[in-house]
Each structure stands twice: as structure tokens, then as C-alpha cells.
Amino acid sequence: MSNIDEIVLTGDRPTGKLHLGHLVGSIQNRVKLQDEASKSFYMIADVQALTDNADNPEKVSKNVIEVALDNLACGINPKKTTMFIQSEIPEIAELTVLFLNLVTLARLKRNPTVKNEMKQKGYGENVPAGFLAYPVSQAADILFCKGNLIPVGEDQLPVIEQVNEIVDDFNRFYGETFSKVKHVVGDTPRLMGTDGNEKMGKSLNNGIYLSDDFETISKKVMSMYTDPKHIHVEDPGQVEGNVVFVYLDIFDPNKSEVEELKKQYKKGGLGDMVIKKRLINVIENLINPIRTKREELAKDPQKIMKILEEGTIEAQKVAKETMAEVKKVMRINYF
Ligand code: ATP
Ligand code: MG
């Protein structure tokens, strides 16, 4: 049953292959919503990826197909979801320029997501203007297709808030044109990194990728931080903040066995190897079908590019309609 009011817009930055954080934070919802919403758009945000990779455009263009493969392997169906590339929709850039006038520099600098990412990247005052303004460009990404339901991870919520401020100002200045945007976060809104960092991120080098093979998964799990005080098997161990247990809680389908293991671990007598081996199998079971499908799809890259080309043509049509409406309400439709 499709809900006629819902237009889903979501996307990834092509800065690397996708990881488990993407799966639980956003992709699972994307897959579900493509059957429920009236329309679904999936955008590969290459322009946004360039805001912090201007010196390395090849990294961005080379990863376009990788993120497409990851989404297709997880169940995004191009017949249900319009998959397109951001830079191919010039109206998004046009809307960005118009929206920039609705936002102050002070507000941009206050956005907690951007602030946090700026800190991570060590930008300080030397932040690229495009990076600082990416929430404005994200408003254009969402509104060019009248998107109103946005599957995102928790890290993006302040950006969605800022998009709604732009919606409010636009409607107030030029008349009711866009509806408010709603986010939808996954069951795990923010997956921790394998290093214990609060977020698994492509740019943070702390991810388990949807394309990782068994050996790589094993190595990553084996190197996970557990409880530094849990030295001997018989020592009581801590479960809170213990990355292996955090992941078991999220990914292990057998919740009661995990509870039992936690009890044993706290009491002492349960070694790290046992829980790590269990986690390796749990993750392998989750990733194996995705990896297999991905490998199959990757054999025909031209087919993937064709999917993106067709989706982009579809998105271009929608963009033209919205742009005409925007120009009309703004009274800049001269000819
Ligand atoms: P980058 O480091 O280049 O920003 P990223 O790993 O943050 O990469 P994005 O392409 O920026 O990935 O994010 C795509 C989507 O996945 C966003 O909706 C984001 O909120 C979500 N997401 C990313 N990482 C996580 C995570 N660790 N947990 C939950 N959701 C996540
Ligand atoms: Mg990100």
C-alpha cells in the first residue's frame, strides 16, 4: 500500500564503500519505504562529497558505482527507487544558491553536525565555504523533488532541522511551496565504530564494510576493544561500552543467548575469544548474502551505470517542474 503523501529522498556521499552503520542507520529503512511511500529517490551525493574532497575528485567519481552497488545489493530496487547522481541535476545547484540567502553565516557555524565534522577534519576557520554550507545544499537535494520523508542516521538530524528552517522561511517569503520534512532513523540510529568511536564512518577508518570478506571481518572483530581490565578468563568483565557486546546486542538474532553471555562475562569465566568468534559468525551471516549479490552485480558495471542514467533522467524531469514553480513564486520567471 503506498502512502500518497510520502516522498522519500535519501542518499550517500560517494567517499567510500558503505558499512554496517549505513545498513542499520538508513538503508534498511530505504528498502522498507520504497514499498510504502508514493515515491522514492536515492541520490549519490557527489557534489556534497566534493565539499571536503575538492583536491581528490577521482576518489568521489570512482566511488559512485560502489555506493550504488551497496544499495542495490541490500535490496534497493531501481524499479521502485529512482537512483540518480547529484551533479547531473543542475537545479539542485540553482536551488542551493537561492536558499543560501535564507541562512545566516552564524546559523551555519552553529550546526552541531557540521561543527563536529569540522573538528574531526581539523578545519577551524579554514573550512571550505561549500562544506560549511552543505546543509543548505542538502535542503536543495531534498526539496527539488518535494521530498518529505528522509531516512538518515542520527548524525544528520541537526541538518534536517536546518532544512525545515529553510522550508519555513521560503514559504513565509514566497508563499506555501514546500512541506515540512520528516526524518526517519533506523533501529540503530548511530552505530559505534570498531574502535569504540561513537560513530562508524567512511572517513574515520573504523568500519566493517558490506563488501568485506570473511577474513577481513575476522581481523576487524579480533582487533576490537573489549574491557581492558578483563585480562584473564576468570576475571569479571564489563559489558557496557564493550564494543563486542554492543555489536552482539545489535546484530545477534538470539537475544536470550546474548543476555546469558553477558551475565557470564560480568561474573567472570568467559573469554574474549568466545564472544569475538560468535560476533564474527553473526556479522558474516548478515553480510554474506549482501556480498554475494554485490559481487554478482559488480560483474556488469555498465548495467549499473545505465540504472543511474535512467534514474537521473527521471530526476531531471522532476527537478525542472519544481524549479519552474520556485521561479514563479519568487517572481523570477521572466520569459
Ligand atoms: P563520511 O565519513 O564520508 O561522511 P559516512 O560514513 O558518514 O561517510 P555518509 O555518506 O555521510 O556516510 O552517510 C550516509 C547515511 O548513512 C546518512 O544518513 C548517515 O546518517 C548514515 N550513517 C552514516 N554512518 C552511520 C552510523 N555509524 N550509524 C548510523 N547511520 C549512519
Ligand atoms: Mg557523513
Does this model's pTM top 0.85?
A: yes
Q: Which has the minimum average pLDDT: 151-155, 285-289, 321-325?
A: 151-155
138 and 286 fall within a common domain: no
Instruction: State how far the alpha carbon of 37 is from the alpha carbons of 1, 231, 265, in Å.
Output: 8, 51, 44
92 and 13 fall within a common domain: yes
The pLDDT-based confidence of 3 (bands split at 50, 70, 90) is low
Q: Would 196 be classed as within a structural domain?
A: no
- Whether 210 has a pLDDT exceeding 60, the answer reads yes
Q: Would 202 be classed as within a structural domain?
A: no
CA 144 to CA 114: how far, in whole Å?
A: 22
Q: Would 207 be classed as within a structural domain?
A: no
Whether 248 lines ligand 1, by a CB cut-off of 6 Å, is no
How large is the average pLDDT for residues 75-92?
A: 98
Whether 138 lines ligand 1, by a CB cut-off of 6 Å, is no
Q: Which has the minimum average pLDDT: 217-221, 231-235, 311-315?
A: 231-235
* Domain that residue 270 falls in: 214-294
46 and 175 fall within a common domain: yes
Closest ligand by atom to 199 CA: 1
Q: What is the pLDDT of residue 139?
A: 98
- Whether 1 has a pLDDT exceeding 80, the answer reads no
Q: What is the pLDDT of residue 317?
A: 98
How large is the average pLDDT for residues 22-37?
A: 96
The domain tally of the chain equals 2
The pLDDT-based confidence of 2 (bands split at 50, 70, 90) is low
How large is the average pLDDT for residues 266-283?
A: 95
Whether 81 lines ligand 1, by a CB cut-off of 6 Å, is no
Q: If you measure from the C-alpha of residue 176 to the centroid of ligand 1, how many angstroms do you get, rounded to a whole number?
A: 31
95: domain CATH number is 3.40.50.620
Q: What is the pLDDT of residue 230?
A: 85
Instruction: Answer yes or no: are the C-beta atoms of 215 and 223 closer than 8 Å.
Output: no
Instruction: Answer yes or no: are the C-beta atoms of 180 and 148 closer than 8 Å.
Output: yes
256 and 181 fall within a common domain: no
Residues 6+ apart with CB under 8 A from 61: 14, 46
Q: Would 22 be classed as within a structural domain?
A: yes
The pLDDT-based confidence of 146 (bands split at 50, 70, 90) is very high
Q: What is the pLDDT of residue 4?
A: 63
CA 182 to CA 55: how far, in whole Å?
A: 34
Q: Would 269 be classed as within a structural domain?
A: yes
Q: If you measure from the C-alpha of residue 111 to the centroid of ligand 1, how many angstroms do you get, rounded to a whole number?
A: 17
For the CA atoms of 323, 324, 327, 329, what is the dihedral angle to 10 degrees?
-110
Helices (H), 74-198: 90-100, 105-110, 112-121, 129-132, 134-143, 157-174
Mutate which of 9, 10, 13, 42 to test ligand 1's pocket (most atoms within 8 Å of Cβ)? 13
Whether 17 lines ligand 1, by a CB cut-off of 6 Å, is no
151 and 27 fall within a common domain: yes
- Point out the ligand 1 atom lying closest to the alpha carbon of residue 49: 3
242: domain CATH number is 1.10.240.10
- Whether 182 has a pLDDT exceeding 60, the answer reads yes
152 and 237 fall within a common domain: no
How large is the average pLDDT for residues 64-81?
A: 98
Q: Would 95 be classed as within a structural domain?
A: yes
CA 138 to CA 158: how far, in whole Å?
A: 12
SS3 40: strand
Instruction: Answer yes or no: are the C-beta atoms of 45 and 159 closer than 8 Å.
Output: no
